[in-house]
Structures are given as structure tokens and as C-alpha cells.
A and B are shown apart, each in its own frame.
Chain A
Amino acid sequence: MDISLQKVEYRYQANTPFERLAIIDVSIDIPSGTFLAIIGHTGSGKSTVLQHLNALLKPTAGKVVIGDKEVTADKKQKNLKDIRQKVGIVFQFPEHQLFEETVEKDICFGPMNFGVSMEEAQRRAKVAIKQVGLSEEILSKSPFDLSGGQMRRVAIAGVLAMEPDVIVLDEPTAGLDPRGRKEIMDMFHALHKERELSTVLVTHSMEDASKYADHIVIMQKGEVYKKGTPEEIFSSPEGLMQLGLDVPEVVRFQKKIEETFHIKFSQTCLTAELLTEEIALLLKGGEQK
């Protein structure tokens, strides 16, 4: 399902003294199958953008096109459930939304709201709980007896079980340990490939963004500061550094080498392997001379 934001503006509490312009003139295209990463400082409007992707927020100006539905400021929308089932959002700290007596019931909650039968929902729960790296035994436990990391995984499983076409992730690994982070990100990436989903990831980790995403959008003060492929974004990291944003370690390392030895590699390497090859090539070249 294609999603596209066209010159979207959103004001919180419009027409009150508390009015706050959160995003302005945001245009992003998310064709089916894309893995898009959104990066930006806290308060730059990332979460606000995400909430437009399944019509939780209606733009105060501009247009959001989700599949064949258009969402604009003045149009009353009916039947948003369809959109909500196809676009699953994992909110920041999703463990705060758990409420059922058992993990299984909580995972089944979403699918059953969208009219899936109990049996089918339970089958999906079994699949989803394994996908997020937990064992089936947990299904019968109370979600409130679990550790923070386990709760997070259960909450994610609850969204996966809705079997959405588009998965939207708001800092899904914030506050997890490094191993948990890698496991979860790898899981989302595998899922993205396997089910041909569209994935939208908000993250503070440049490593994750460069490793998993085909496209990156940088948000700054409610506006799109830059968008492009990871190579395009990180090939001129100076701008990012000026914004105070991180750049992947590999890229920083490459820049340092280039500065120190006054050379220029043929490309911006986003993985250690690529950079190693480039350096090896250079060293061999040096010997030959």
C-alpha cells in the first residue's frame, strides 16, 4: 500500500492560546515495500508525522494519501478501521498499552477488533510471540508479570498479529539493551523482506538507519531537512554534524582517514566490510607504486 504525505502541516490545539505548530510543509512518499527511516532531534515532529500515516491525526493543511483514501483537513473520514488494520503502529514505549489478563488475550485484542475469529487470532498470537523471540509459555502469563523488555516484545507482537501491510515503528528499541535492540531490529528487517511490508522506522540510531533503510528522511524543527538514500544522506555528513546529529561510526572513521591522509575514497561506505575493502584496495594500490 502506497502512502504519501503532501505538504502536510499539523498544529496541536489549533485556535487556542496553546496552539503549537508541530510540522510544516512535510512531503514524504512511501511506496509499497519501502524501508524508510526518519531521524531527527526530540521534538522535531517525528511522532507527529507517524500519526498521520494511519489517520490518527488529520493534517491541518495539506493532504495524506493512504492507499486509495485521502485524508485532508476539511473532509470527514468514515471507515478508518480499514486503514488502521493495514497500517500498524508500534508507539514509543508500547508496553504502556498492555491491559489484558494474559499475554495471549492482549495479542489477540488487535486482530479481533478487526473482525478476525478467536481461533485465527490465537494462531496468529502463537506465530507473533515466536517472531518477537519469546516462547509460547509466556502466552498464558499476565503481561504485568513480565520484565520491561519482554513487555515491549509482547506489545510489538500485538501489532504484528494484526498482519498489517505497513508497519510503523516509533523508536521501538529505546531503552532496551544492545542485544535486545539488535534482535528486534533484525526481526523487523527479516519481516520486512519476507512479507514485503512497507516499514517506517523512527530512530536515533544512525547505525540502524544506514543498515536497514532504503530511504532516510531527516526532520529538523518540524520540517524535512533532507531526504534521500543512506549513501546520499551520509556522503556529506558535515550538515548533519552541524545539526548535532550523529553520523554512523563507519562514516566518521572514513572521513577521518580521508582527512588525515588527504585522500578520497570512491564511495561513502556504510558498512565496516565495505570500508575494509576500500582500504585494502588503497593499500595494495600504494604498494604497487
Chain B
Amino acid sequence: MMEKMIFGRYVPAHSLIHRMDPRSKLMIIFLFVCIVFIANNSLTYGLLAIYTLGMISLSKVPFRFIISGLKPVLWLVLFTLLLHLFLTKEGELLFQAGWFSIYEEGLRQGIFISLRFFLLILMTSILTLTTTPIEITDGLESLLHPLNKVKFPVHELALMMSISLRFIPTLMQETDKIMKAQTARGVDFSSGPIKDRVKAIIPLLIPLFVNSFKRAEELATAMEARGYRGGEGRTKYRQLSWGLKDTSMLIFLGILTALLVLFRT
């Protein structure tokens, strides 16, 4: 029932992107989020789009799959586009029918901003599709390590993150299971009047919450029983390793940034 969602899911493979150090991937995403805002004309947006498509093809995740998984988000992108089309009233008038009119600037901005939005979503999807949640947290913990100096609880934050990420699939499975169990008891989740459908959420949510609390308690007990005492002096089983590919990918992004700055108007 929730099978198509790809948000936060990992597709195992051995592509270049999969093998990169999570730290470099996180840095690239972070930088990408910044440089997206440099682009302001067709050429620079084109460069960004080519870069993103290049990254997707390097990741070996089928493009069709990404698109079909992002369908719910695509509506949001479309909405952004329409909002700009209708509300921006600058530049030359392109089209008019009654009260409805489209201006050149509206079209331009609509396309650019929704494209920007879309590229950001694509890039972050590539990160989560090619990096296991554990890698992401390890990378983040390592990148944020300097903040320890100012007493920022980096390890605890990373732990919280990895636990939540770890339990997303469990939660999805359980949602699916309980939905099926209640459907078998006559609940209709997918049709009927809105009022009934809202009511149908209760038999789903209560068991989900109860089970989650139970699981959290069990997890805490299990961690304590195995002597967990926080991050101090803790060594890692999975070592991160920075390689040539990571440096080159960052340099490549640097070149892209330079080009963007050069060609923006």
C-alpha cells in the first residue's frame, strides 16, 4: 500500500556514487543546495540539470524508478510552477483569456524556480538512494565532530538520527500489516466518505503508537543491558575512508560552481 514511496529508501548497488564516502556525498549535497541559487539563466540552469542527470546516471538507479517514486513531490513542483504562472505579472504579456493571463516573467520564474526545487529533490534522493542510513549518520557524526568542542551532543544526535532512520522501514512494514489486519476486519481505508476514512485512521494509529512505545522501551533496556553509556571512548566498526573519487567529485563540483559564477547574468 505504501510500496511506491522512495523517500529515504536505499537501493543496494555498486555504482561509483554508492562507493563514495558519505562525508563527501553530504558535503556535495550541502554545497549543491547553496550553488543552486547562483543559477539565474537558461545556460546556468542547464548546467545544473546536466550535472544532476550525470549524477543520476552515475548512481545507476533507473531514472524511471526515481520519477515514479517522486510522484507525490512532483505535484508540489507543478504547484510551484502554476503559482508563479498565475501570480507574477511582470514582463511581456504572452497569453490572455478573460481574467486569466500569463506574463513572460511569470513563465520564466515559474520554470526556473520549480526546476530548482526539482533538482534539489533529485539530488537529495540520490543521496538517500545510494547511501545507507547508517552511513549517513556516521558521515554526519564525523563531519559535526568539531562541534563537540562547544559541548554540542554530536554523538547523541547521531544516535537519535540512526535510531529513527533504522525504524522507518519497520514502521512502514507495521503500518502495512496493521492496515491489512484492520481491512480484514472490515475497515475501508481507500474508499467511502471522508468522515469514515478519517475515523479509519484510529484503529491504525493506536496500535502503531502502542507498538512503537513498546519497542522503544525494549530497545532502551537492550542498550542498557549491553552497557551502552554514550559516545565517550567508543570506537567504530565501520571506518569511513576518503578516496580519490571523493576528492575528484568535490573538485568537479568546484568547477561547476566556477562555471555557474562565470555564466550567470
Contact = CB atoms under 8 A, between A and B. Distances in A.
Interface of A: 12-13, 16-18, 51, 54, 56, 81, 84-85, 88-89, 91, 94, 96-99, 109-110, 113-114, 144, 158-159, 162
A162 B185 contact: yes
Nearest to B200: A113
Interface string B161-189: 00000000000001001101111111110
A133 B89 CA distance: 73
B11 interface: yes
B210 A113 contact: no
Contact of B61 (A17, A81, A88): A17
B186 A85 contact: yes
B244 interface: no
Nearest to A168: B184
A13 B185 contact: no
B80 to A, nearest CB: 26
Closest 8 CB pairs of A and B: A113-B186, A99-B206, A110-B185, A97-B181, A13-B3, A89-B184, A91-B181, A114-B186
Interface size bracket, B side: 20 to 34
B211 A96 contact: yes
B181 A96 contact: yes
A12 B187 contact: no
Contact of B184 (A17, A91, A96): A91
Contacts of B210: 99, 144
B97 interface: no
B150 interface: no
28 contacts: A13-B4, A16-B4, A17-B11, A17-B61, A17-B62, A18-B9, A18-B11, A56-B180, A56-B184, A81-B188, A84-B185, A91-B177, A91-B180, A91-B181, A96-B174, A96-B177, A96-B207, A97-B203, A97-B207, A99-B202, A99-B203, A109-B185, A109-B203, A110-B185, A113-B187, A158-B185, A162-B185, A162-B186
Contacts of A17: 11, 61-62, 65
A17 B12 CA distance: 9
Nearest to A99: B206
Given A113-B185, A158-B185, 17 more contacts: A16-B65, A17-B11, A17-B61, A17-B65, A18-B11, A54-B184, A81-B188, A84-B185, A94-B181, A96-B177, A96-B181, A99-B203, A113-B187, A114-B186, A159-B185, A162-B185, A162-B186
B178 A96 contact: yes
Interface string B193-230: 00000000011001100110000000000000000000
Nearest to B3: A13
A235 B211 CA distance: 44
Nearest to B191: A78
